[in-house]
A and B are shown apart, each in its own frame.
Chain A
Amino acid sequence: MADSDRELVRRAQDGDPDAFNELVLRHQEKIFNAVYRFCSHWEDACDITQRAFVNAFRKIGEFKGDSAFTTWMYRIAFNQSVSFRRETGRQKTVSLTSKDDEMVREPAFEHNPSERLETDDSRRKVQQALAALDDDDRKIIVLKDLQGYSYDEIAAILDIPKGTVRSRLHRARLALKTKLKSFAGTARS
């Protein structure tokens, strides 16, 4: 049976690099996806994810275990995202590089090419709308609607009360909807 995260962290703290590598393999996909949807830039997401995990490894001795490992990783990853943006002076816009286009393409079960293009375009608009939100709103939508965490888990990750999670999420979703409508309106015109 696979070791729990807690056990792996303990072993990593005792100097076992394989234990930390196992934690990376378990959690890199969700961290990478959260970072990518937060920063809206493929290459940045790659750099930020790498930095977040390396930072986590360097600070693993400081992790007290009073929260889940993933809670701690998300905090590091989001903080790293903000620092990275500050360092690079990157604007909060959606990068429309060919790499991003490849990555958002769906698996080929849609037989109608125009249907697939429409899906790619609509997803790009969703990503644009996400990028247009402020950081707090974007984080909470990523954690709830993308990653599927409960209010309690989100409260732990963001270190805010549970009531604030609900009110912020409500505001964020309405803001996102407004952005989506405005992008749709722009497209039509």
Chain B
Amino acid sequence: MSCPLDRDKLTGYFDGELDAADRNEIDRHIASCSECLRELEEIKSASFAVRGLPRLPVPGKVTAAIRAGVSGRVIPMRKPWLTWGLAGAAALFLVVNVAFFSSLRREESRPPENTDLASRPAGEKPLDAPMTRGKRGAGDEPPSAERRTAMKKDAQEDYAGTGSKKSPEPARKPGFYTVVTSEVADARERVEQELARMGVRHRTGAGEYDSGAYAQDTCIEVELTDEQLAELENAMKKDPRQFVWVEGQQNYYPCRQEENARDGDRFAGRMRGDGSGKGREDESKRKADKSEGKTAKESEEPKPRTTPEDPAKSAAEKKDAPEQARKAGPRTRRIVIYFHELQRAQRTGK
């Protein structure tokens, strides 16, 4: 006899898109229905196969072609009345400017009081210089190709929120990974063991679903070099408990420090430097600091220096910066790891 269950619900169950009542129904059902359990496995297998496909970088020629396509454009207008309104305003602006500059030229025909050009403030352009848009760099010329490349990198870094505008290296976005597992606690413990072995500090937080629900201890944030990340990935993939390591975030919002700092009730924010599980003291301290009006940053970060900097010393320090960077070691980037629980039936041991 074929199973009466609405099989679509198995997909909703797998994706965490069922309400509690339906979820419980499926939990009970698959405990005793091998047909549905098999179909659930098929769904899982197909989904993971696609999730395993790598995310590919955009070829530079695509970005360049888009930019070229956009630059040869007519400025889009929203509505006809807006078009006429803007055209009228532009015409008025032109008339006013012509009148203004005409009156200036009449003034300039008189001998100036001070002809010493050196007295003009540095950077001040002559009044009859063509107007430039505020976003351009210094000078009246359009930005050079080099400047455009630098501007693009700045925009990318601003979006990524990493690096600084002065960094010569291209920004790398934080990496998001998801571990899909039937036992979140086991998987998290494995990650923490590996990080402790590498001597890397991390923080644990709450992963938040699109529905607004959240789950404690389902998110780890850490700074890793590429080599460390590769070691971690390898360890997770080779673990006999069959953790599935997937690049990309699955229905979670990023585990951001600044967001979590504002929402103290929801974010654990524990620092577990040695994987010992100590951290509740940190949380209670954070709550105490919050009640005293301190922000998360103030309570965690060291106090800034108050002594004025010696210019000679800071110049010497800047000169040594590349050497110091070499000694500091390879560059790390922020990695956020989510833990996605999968098979409730297995978890309950049925």
A contacts, CB < 8 Å to B: 2, 12-13, 15, 17-18, 20-22, 24-26, 28-29, 32-33, 36-37, 46, 49-50, 53-54, 57-61, 103-104, 106-107, 109, 123, 126-127, 129-130, 141-142, 144-146, 148, 150-153, 166-167, 169-170, 173-174, 176-177, 180
Contacts and interface: CB of A to CB of B under 8 A. Distances in A.
B70 A21 contact: yes
B46 A177 contact: yes
22 contacts: A12-B76, A13-B76, A17-B70, A24-B67, A32-B58, A46-B59, A49-B58, A53-B66, A59-B76, A61-B78, A104-B53, A109-B230, A126-B50, A166-B17, A167-B8, A169-B11, A170-B7, A170-B8, A173-B11, A174-B43, A174-B46, A176-B50
A108 B158 CA distance: 29
Top-9 shortest CB links A-B: A54-B69, A109-B230, A170-B11, A145-B50, A15-B75, A173-B46, A61-B76, A50-B65, A177-B46
A129 B42 CA distance: 14
Contact of A13 (B42, B65, B78, B155): B78
Interface centre among A26, A152, A170, A174 (most CB of B within 10 A): A170
Contacts of A141: 46, 50
Interface stretch (B193-201, B247-255, B291-299, B342-350): B247-255
Interface string B31-63: 000000001001101110111111111110111
Contacts of A49: 58, 62, 66
B11 A50 contact: no
A148 B56 contact: no
Interface in B1-28: 7-12, 15, 17
B52 A123 contact: yes
Interface of A is mostly: helix
Interface residues of B, number: 55
A59 B192 CA distance: 49
B91 to A, nearest CB: 17
| Residue from A22, A127, A173 with most neighbouring chain B CB atoms (10 Å) | A173
A75 B310 CA distance: 58
Contacts of B158: 2
Contacts of A28: 58, 62-63, 66
B149 interface: no
A177 B56 contact: no
B158 to A, nearest CB: 6
Contacts of B47: 144-145, 173
Interface of B: 7-12, 15, 17, 39, 42-43, 45-47, 49-59, 61-63, 65-67, 69-71, 73, 75-79, 135, 152, 155-156, 158-159, 161, 210, 230, 233-234, 248-251
A29 B160 CA distance: 13
B63 A170 contact: no
- Of B15, B49, B158, B249, most A-chain CB atoms within 10 Å: B49
A151 B170 CA distance: 35
A24 B152 CA distance: 11
B39 A21 contact: no
B250 A107 contact: no
Given A2-B159, A123-B52, A173-B42, A166 B78 contact: no
Contacts of A109: 230, 233-234
B73 A57 contact: yes
A130 B155 contact: no
B52 A126 contact: yes
Nearest to A48: B62
A25 B234 CA distance: 31
B76 A57 contact: yes
A32 B61 CA distance: 12
B57 A177 contact: no
Contacts of B66: 24, 28, 49-50, 53-54
A150 B46 contact: no
A107 to B, nearest CB: 7
B213 to A, nearest CB: 12
Contacts of A26: 159
A166 B12 contact: yes
Contact of A180 (B49, B234, B248): B49
Contacts of A15: 75-76
B77 A46 contact: no
Contact of B155 (A12, A22, A50): A22
A74 B49 CA distance: 22
